[in-house]
Structure 1
Amino acid sequence: MLTLVLAIISVIAQAQGFLKAKGKIITDSNGNKIILRGMGLGGWMLQEGYMFKLGNIGQQYQIKARIQELVGQDATDKFYQQWLEKHTQKADIDSMAAWGFNSIRLPMHYDLYTLSVEKEPIAGQNTWIEKGFAMTDSLLSWCKANKMYLILDLHAAPGGQGNDLAISDRNPSLPSLWESRDNQLKVIALWKKLAERYANEPWIGGYDIINEPNWGFQDAKDFRGTEEKLNLPLRNLMIEITKAIREVDNNHIIIIEGNGFGNNYRGILPTWDNNMVLSFHKYGNFNTKAAIQNFLNLREEYNVPLWLGESGENSNNWFTEAIRLVESNDIGWAWWQSKKMGINNPWEIKITPSYQKLLDYWNNKGPKPSKEEAQTSLDELISLIQLPNNQPHADVIDAMFRQVKEHKAVAFKTHRIGSSVTIPAVDFDLGGQRIGYYDKDTASYHYTPGVNTQGNRGKAYRNDGVDIQLEDGQYQVFSIENDEWLGYTIEVEKAKKYQINLEVASKEAEGQIEIWSNDQLLSTTKIKPTGNDKNWKWVKAGNIPLNKGTQQLRIKFVKGNILFRTIQLN
């Protein structure tokens, strides 16, 4: 009976077939176009400092050293064992599948699969570590159960593949991937080992063989490899990796990335395999066709599919625009990342007071905690990285899926008016710019010269363009500019006139607010200064007629210069 059940499961798993590069698109085994909608599991196998407010420390090996200095080697080893067990579990993958993701990108650290060149007991040989392979097997089983593709991504290669040290956990005192033939041979051997293990697994979507190389081969001053013209060492190594994979696996897509964080393909093409995809990464630039035109040109010239292998780290409005852009051009995507300390991901890892003490110490802003205090903070962190204790951000998911297809505002939370209702100002509608709200600064274009926007300047509560900050235990909308507005979808149980009151604060300038519903102006109210930003006052904004049913109430700040906290209708 068990054999029969396993056989049935095998048939179901095999039915979808291997993904293939067919002309300019990715297809399933039946030739149907597949748009990959994926999430990268950043921070699991490989920690980058910025994910945990430790950008000043950077690489994972340095974070480990800081932890060891506080709690010792044994406790540090235990912490990282728990981290790998708890950070990402089946519940995480189940949730992502339910939201609409059909793929996962696994950023792998090579040292979970094999020893570093420096630690090999016999030079030139490879010691294999079961831990990384077992973790990958578990993740694959979770993906298969949800009919999701798993894309393997070598995020930290032996020696490190670039001068951005944190993304590959590179120690600059040791030879890099490009300065050591032994490191290169280890990369080749690792990919052959992975391909042997997963050659017949159709839910492996592909092999992303080197993440974000960034190296000046011709000119060391070209620190990130963005100006490189030939890229011969990168091309040659990727050809060697491909050859090793094809010795044992002819089923899977091989995904390549250019120099300069995946985007500099000069000298790398033409392709050398008939089942290959070009990946590019996109951060902090405009979401126009011009921004991706170079990659579209490569697709046309070399008849090869494209994949946006990494993007994110921005506002919801930017997410919607970017996904809409690439999907309209038959390009799939993998977002970065599922969880970290911050609001621009599906889940947020919370910061406890004890962890803040660690941050203060590591950032030279506070005293050294005792061993017991540090251990308590680390134990709390292990708890907080787990899904049940993450802070979910439904606004991020809505922006990545519903808003891409639907230009409509929906309620962030249900606001039902019976006799009265109180609405926090920060609970405005989902829907994005000019749909759920209007803000003059909706995204960060940090890689666009001369554009100094930020999105949510307070980086609290939500990832929309509206500026939200936490003050005295309450969230408030701040930095409000003239003509910005917030929309609130409300459910009115009884048609009548309602008194509307607004809780506001201001320093000096007089503000002015208009109340709109269904494109009809209902009231205009001047807001007198309250003296300072902490002196909150209720302002009567008029009796407004509301019809029974669902409608959007719009608060427009004709003159900004105020802070806004609460709406009250009765």
Structure 2
Amino acid sequence: MKDYTIDGRASAWKNVTRFQKSIFLGALILSCLTFANTAHAQYLKAEGKQILDPNGEPIILRGIGLGGWMLQEGYMLRTSGPQHEIEAKIEELIGPDKTEEFYTAWLANHCTKRDIDSMGAWGYNSIRLPMHYKLFTPPIEEEPVAGEITWNEKGFTMVDDLIDWVKANDMYLILDLHAAPGGQGENADISDYDRSKPSLWESKANQDKMIALWKELATRYKDEPAIGAYDIINEPNWGFQDHPNDLNGCAESSNSPLWQLQKDVTAAIREVDQNHIVIIEGNCWGNNYSGLPTLWDENLVISYHKYWNSNEQGSIQGMLDMRDSRNVPIWLGETGENSNGWFTDAIRLFEDNNMGWSWWPLKKMGGNNPLQIEVTEGYQDILDYWSGGAKPSEAEAYASLMEMTENLKVENNTYHPDVVDAMIRQPYSDETLPFKDNTISATEATTLYFVDYDLGKQGAAYYDAEYTNESGNAGGLAWNRGYSYRNDGVDIEACNDTPTNGFNIGWTEDGEWLVYSLNVEEEGAYDIKLRYVASTANSSIRVEIEGSDQTGLVALPKTTGWGETTLTDVALYAGTQKLKFYIEKGGINLNFMEFSKKKY
């Protein structure tokens, strides 16, 4: 029997020939290299100008940020101000204990496994998590021992849960420090900056806490392949060289403190984690890269943000030039807050240039995102009070706020399939799809509401004179002037007619048109009754079926309020077909079309 003691193994090793030793050591080294490569291949990796998946293949990250969950931004709640001010306003209404109860429910309901399952089913492959540092560690002013750093398990538990949900959907999670200790920019709402306290840039203690937080995150998640990357600071906007005259750092020429802090964070991460991508961002909301030194890490990605500008090649050429000159991947880490048409155009631009993207946000109190949170009557009373109106009672305010936390749940949100379709399908398809089941009955009248035109891009499902906001600012152009129902360029408002599905098309202009997919039960001639409002006698329309003009130019009589006119003998054939409704002369509001098969 062989001796398996240490001395016995040493003795046996002496008796092995040099050739046998070389074979053994070679196999051992190969085994170790294979293991190392297999372990490394579990993670996303930056290589040259591309992000590679675990198989070494280029990957386009298609994601959405979970804005509003860990960090509240005022505009998402139809108010203003950073989270600490919102908290104070809520506490003034319902007291500290009920405020804590509200925030516990907020964090529990805003994002659940069902949200992530939905995103996976829609076709996204990544999620950007905007983190508030307070969920992981207290502010420096609240540390039990000054200068020490303690941890709050609440934030880490939320990340752990999210990792489980992401893994179940074969997605990646990108951790994003959205609110850094002290706040990283004068735009206080996006980082919860409190101007009465030292900012991130005015406090070494805050910077040390940020570095320690990232090291702790990296320590906990260094072996987690579902983590796609560490986005170490969101949208810094701080003037270092001339702060009074350049509050947001857009005129900075060196950005030295920003680069040094990101270097320090990267070094702390690499002490414990060699696996994960590190993402860096520039000043001026992630867009000023002046002074960027030689890149300090081999597994690094540069992020930028893009809002309210054109989708021409020139709008991203500067970042493409940086990608080439630095030989580094570029990731569009945040964009959105625009029309469906803008989304489609932007995503096609990014992906044609091999650039991944993350939209903003998944849900808020507003309709230009996949999920919309309802504004209840009770919460509107609170908003009115914050704007100078009557103060609700504590009981009323508490009930309304807790009702809001229930409405945060995905099952209580309004889902906007047009937004998802614009992002996932429309960049690569001119096909239009039914928005609703428009089956035209052969035996009874069928109502088709004008707002239920097909899913599809501008120029395919509809044509509207104004369909994107490229003005350079958030409110520069209202592509849907009624801000209702859908996020396309078509202008939709609440409807006061009967019957109604709640909405009608308004603000129509000359030359606009809409497409509807019909499923006709029986071939024949149909009358189509139009329900509309025309303030003048100059409006006119025309209807085509599969490109064939069925009506010629039809003048619409002026109405007092809602009125009707009927298009007669429109030929429809059995099965699916496209109806195209032309608005030759605008100035009309449109409620519905009613189809009736003629009986002879």
* TM-score interval (norm. to shorter): over 0.9
Counterpart pick for 2:591 among 545, 565, 569: 565
Partner of 1:246, secondary structure, is: helix
Q: For residues 85 and 15 of structure 1, what CA distance do their matches in structure 2 show?
A: 34
Letter in 2 for 1:208: D
Counterpart pick for 2:69 among 38, 41, 44: 44
Deviation at 1:493, TM superposition (A): 1.7
Counterpart position of 1:392 = 415
Partner of 1:488, secondary structure, is: strand
Counterpart pick for 2:347 among 300, 315, 323: 323
Identical amino acids, percent of aligned pairs: 51
Counterpart position of 2:531 = 503
Q: Deviations over 1:458-478 (max 9, x none)?
A: 110001110001133720101
Q: For residues 247 and 223 of structure 1, what CA distance do their matches in structure 2 show?
A: 34
Partner of 2:213, secondary structure, is: helix
Deviation at 1:452, TM superposition (A): 4.7
Letter in 2 for 1:227: A
Q: Map of 1:8-19 to 2, 5 A cutoff?
A: 17-19=42-44
Counterpart position of 1:4 = none
Deviation at 1:448, TM superposition (A): 6.7
Partner of 1:397, secondary structure, is: helix
Q: For residues 212 and 518 of structure 1, what CA distance do their matches in structure 2 show?
A: 49
2:129 aligned with 1:100: no
2:338 aligned with 1:310: no
Counterpart position of 2:570 = 544
2:255 aligned with 1:231: yes
Counterpart position of 1:445 = 470
Partner of 1:358, secondary structure, is: helix
Letter in 2 for 1:414: D
Q: Deviations over 1:135-160 (max 9, x none)?
A: 11110111111111000000000110
Letter in 2 for 1:387: V
Counterpart position of 2:12 = none
Counterpart position of 1:7 = none
Q: For residues 60 and 187 of structure 1, what CA distance do their matches in structure 2 show?
A: 19
Q: For residues 301 and 39 of structure 2, what CA distance do their matches in structure 1 show?
A: 22
Given the superposition, is the C-alpha separation of residues 288 and 109 from structure 1 closer, same or farther in structure 2, using an over 3 Å criterion?
Answer: same
Q: For residues 476 and 588 of structure 2, what CA distance do their matches in structure 1 show?
A: 22
Counterpart position of 1:127 = 150
Q: Is the 8 A contact 1:16 1:202 kept in 2?
A: no
Deviation at 1:446, TM superposition (A): 3.3
Q: Deviations over 1:296-342 (max 9, x none)?
A: 00000000001110011111111011111101111111110111011
2:447 aligned with 1:422: yes
Counterpart position of 2:306 = 282
Deviation at 1:417, TM superposition (A): 1.0
Task: Compute the TM-score of the two structures, normalised by the length of structure 2.
Answer: 0.90
Q: For residues 95 and 119 of structure 2, what CA distance do their matches in structure 1 show?
A: 36
**Which stretches in structure 2 are left out of the alignment for 5+ residues?**
1-37
Given the superposition, is the C-alpha separation of residues 460 and 14 from structure 1 closer, same or farther in structure 2, using an over 3 Å criterion?
Answer: farther
Q: Is the 8 A contact 1:438 1:486 kept in 2?
A: yes
Counterpart pick for 1:481 among 509, 516, 527: 509
Counterpart position of 1:376 = 399
Counterpart pick for 1:517 among 545, 549, 565: 545
Letter in 2 for 1:488: Y
Deviation at 1:425, TM superposition (A): 0.8
Q: Is the 8 A contact 2:339 2:467 kept in 1?
A: yes
2:162 aligned with 1:139: yes
Partner of 2:550, secondary structure, is: strand
Q: Deviations over 1:7-45 (max 9, x none)?
A: xxxxxx989710000110100232101110111000100
Counterpart position of 1:179 = 202
Counterpart position of 2:430 = 407
Counterpart position of 1:252 = 276
Q: For residues 288 and 478 of structure 2, what CA distance do their matches in structure 1 show?
A: 27
Letter in 2 for 1:527: L
Counterpart position of 1:6 = none
Partner of 1:456, secondary structure, is: coil
Q: Is the 8 A contact 2:277 2:300 kept in 1?
A: yes
Q: Deviations over 1:99-128 (max 9, x none)?
A: 111111000000000010111122211011
Q: For residues 218 and 528 of structure 1, what CA distance do their matches in structure 2 show?
A: 65
Q: For residues 406 and 14 of structure 1, what CA distance do their matches in structure 2 show?
A: 38
Counterpart pick for 1:67 among 90, 96, 107: 90
Q: Is the 8 A contact 1:316 1:395 kept in 2?
A: yes
Q: For residues 291 and 413 of structure 1, what CA distance do their matches in structure 2 show?
A: 36
2:559 aligned with 1:530: yes
The structure with the larger Rg is 2
Counterpart pick for 2:141 among 94, 118, 130: 118
Q: Map of 1:297-376 to 2, 5 A cutoff?
A: 297-364=321-388, 366-376=389-399
Letter in 2 for 1:32: E
Q: For residues 153 and 114 of structure 1, what CA distance do their matches in structure 2 show?
A: 15
Counterpart position of 2:17 = none
Q: Deviations over 1:423-464 (max 9, x none)?
A: 111000111111000001001123179x95321111100011
Given the superposition, is the C-alpha separation of residues 109 and 448 from structure 1 closer, same or farther in structure 2, using an over 3 Å criterion?
Answer: closer
Partner of 1:322, secondary structure, is: helix
**Number of residue pairs the alignment of both structures matches:** 551
Q: Is the 8 A contact 2:41 2:56 kept in 1?
A: no
2:107 aligned with 1:84: yes
Counterpart position of 2:459 = 434
Deviation at 1:173, TM superposition (A): 1.2
Deviation at 1:529, TM superposition (A): 1.6
Q: For residues 239 and 232 of structure 1, what CA distance do their matches in structure 2 show?
A: 11
Q: Is the 8 A contact 2:40 2:275 kept in 1?
A: no
Partner of 1:442, secondary structure, is: coil
Q: Deviations over 1:341-400 (max 9, x none)?
A: 111111100111111111111122x20000111011011101100011000001111001
Q: For residues 275 and 323 of structure 2, what CA distance do their matches in structure 1 show?
A: 22
Q: For residues 346 and 558 of structure 2, what CA distance do their matches in structure 1 show?
A: 40
2:171 aligned with 1:148: yes
Letter in 1 for 2:89: R
Partner of 2:248, secondary structure, is: coil
Counterpart pick for 1:554 among 552, 556, 580: 580
Q: For residues 216 and 477 of structure 2, what CA distance do their matches in structure 1 show?
A: 45
2:46 aligned with 1:25: no
Q: For residues 124 and 81 of structure 1, what CA distance do their matches in structure 2 show?
A: 28
Q: Write out the 4+ residue segments of structure 1 that deviate beyond 3 Å after TM superposition.
A: 13-16
Deviation at 1:240, TM superposition (A): 0.4
Deviation at 1:506, TM superposition (A): 2.2
Q: For residues 43 and 14 of structure 1, what CA distance do their matches in structure 2 show?
A: 35
Q: For residues 30 and 379 of structure 1, what CA distance do their matches in structure 2 show?
A: 46
* Greater mean alpha carbon deviation, residues 546-555 or residues 385-394: 546-555
Given the superposition, is the C-alpha separation of residues 46 and 254 from structure 1 closer, same or farther in structure 2, using an over 3 Å criterion?
Answer: same
Counterpart position of 1:199 = 222
Counterpart position of 1:10 = none
Q: For residues 407 and 414 of structure 2, what CA distance do their matches in structure 1 show?
A: 9
Q: For residues 387 and 452 of structure 2, what CA distance do their matches in structure 1 show?
A: 34
Deviation at 1:174, TM superposition (A): 0.9
Q: For residues 448 and 346 of structure 1, what CA distance do their matches in structure 2 show?
A: 22
**Which stretches in structure 1 are left out of the alignment for 5+ residues?**
1-12
Given the superposition, is the C-alpha separation of residues 454 and 16 from structure 1 closer, same or farther in structure 2, using an over 3 Å criterion?
Answer: farther
Counterpart position of 1:491 = 519
Deviation at 1:203, TM superposition (A): 0.7
Deviation at 1:507, TM superposition (A): 2.0
Q: Is the 8 A contact 1:106 1:151 kept in 2?
A: yes
Letter in 1 for 2:516: Y
Deviation at 1:509, TM superposition (A): 4.7
Q: Is the 8 A contact 1:416 1:493 kept in 2?
A: yes
